[in-house]
Structure 1
């Protein structure tokens, strides 16, 4: 991919084309966010195969060996695919790597979250189709997508071990940000936004880790 950002939609017709085409496990030189509202996704990643019913989210970091097969369910398929270079949102890429490491797929519990994500994807798509798309607008909307996704992740029922692991990763990323910006006058809201959470949640995580 030569573009710094690309977005497209996989419908039932596109799904049929992909199913009947050669599709071997491969790697990308870009990041890929997949948001599905209808259909299924057969995702081979980390040498394991997963089959998910919509609504679902999948994030594939560059360099990961994977294969995606969008499938019909009840004759329907509606999936957004957003591809972007790491430098497009460089300030948040490391947070994404930590959040999705070893857990590339998220099964959403309701369609309400997808509806919000779908609305934002439509706005991004409309901007992308402009003769001269404003990448600053797309960048902000893409960050908003990840903020909503992280919020959805926190709503899922995580066991205590998984919760502590995520909190540990968040705290580590917070320390990295502190090291990068300690010479600047940044408040807690700045760091919380970079980590896709509220300042209250960041404070709670720091308290839990430091206790």
Structure 2
């Protein structure tokens, strides 16, 4: 639904620089169909319903328990509350900029993201302190300090999840590259150069996500193709070796036996 900007109401922070409320109270000025803010809003969804979702810049995001969303000034936001529980912090641009130094959040907020259990525990403690202060002495400097602590923790989570997303993309890229080049390039450096990271970093990513190494991934692909050719092809062992990029048939035989426990000839006759 593309509404002209002038028709989208803008909500303002009026009497306070910092407001804390809960989703249970369902502040009508914060959740009233489609709207924009002239301030930053941090929403922490403690408990959501099965069909809970929000719209941010006309894109719908399904919600899960414990997720946090940061809405930047000017972003178009829409959510109908259905009994969700959680916290809402409305913060002026000036205060939020003091608390959070991540440029991407300052300019575009964040879509809903999750916290790991340790970070969630820490953030719960910080929110509890914010709540006590907000409903008690209301010392703005102390609220700013707590908010900064909260932002440090969630920024770490955002950076970590961005990093994991990049790593998943790199693994996909590596799989595609191996499929294309495994018979020509059998060294990790080639693939690392193509992905534009160091060999050490690439191996770290592969080790963490797949519990293996780049070299072993290439070897597995070579073995799969070797077994296919030896089982169903009409090529000799020597021809299979050359087809798979081995300059020496005896080296191919050693490679095959090391990984399978069988010689290529033995495997071929056993599957012939």
Q: TM-score range by the shorter chain?
A: 0.5 to 0.7
1:201 is aligned to none
Number of aligned residue pairs? 151
2:160 is aligned to 155
| Partner SS for 1:69 | coil
On the 8 A contact 1:60/1:104 being kept in 2, the answer is yes
2:242 is aligned to none
1:137 is aligned to 142
On the 8 A contact 1:33/1:60 being kept in 2, the answer is yes
| Partner SS for 1:23 | coil
1:45 aligns with 2:41: no
2:95 is aligned to 88
Structure 2, unmatched stretches of 5+, are: 1-12, 171-272
1:66 aligns with 2:77: yes
Quick one: structure 1 residues 148 and 24, their matched pair in 2 at CA, closer, same or farther if it must change by over 3 Å?
Answer: same
Quick one: structure 1 residues 102 and 138, their matched pair in 2 at CA, closer, same or farther if it must change by over 3 Å?
Answer: closer
| Alignment counterpart, residue 131 of structure 2, candidates 125, 137, 140 | 125
Q: What's the CA shift for 1:36?
A: 1.6
1:7 aligns with 2:14: no
On the 8 A contact 1:27/1:65 being kept in 2, the answer is yes
On the 8 A contact 2:35/2:76 being kept in 1, the answer is yes
Structure 1, unmatched stretches of 5+, are: 164-211
TM-score under structure 1 length normalisation: 0.61
4+ residue runs over 4 A deviation: 100-103, 160-163
Q: What's the CA shift for 1:115?
A: 2.7
Would you tell me which structure has more strand in proportion to its own residues? 1
| Alignment counterpart, residue 120 of structure 2, candidates 102, 114, 125 | 114
1:34 aligns with 2:43: yes
Question: What is the distance in 2 between the residues matched to 1:36 and 1:150?
Answer: 17
Q: What's the CA shift for 1:114?
A: 2.4
Question: What is the distance in 1 between the residues matched to 2:142 and 2:150?
Answer: 13
TM-score under structure 2 length normalisation: 0.49
Q: What's the CA shift for 1:103?
A: 6.4
Quick one: structure 1 residues 48 and 89, their matched pair in 2 at CA, closer, same or farther if it must change by over 3 Å?
Answer: closer
Structure (1 or 2) with the larger CA radius of gyration: 2
Q: Deviations over 1:12-66 (max 9, x none)?
A: xx46x97xxx832101111100112211542111111111111101000011111
Question: What is the distance in 2 between the residues matched to 1:162 and 1:5?
Answer: 39
- Higher-RCO chain (CA-CA 8 Å, sequence separation at least 6): 1
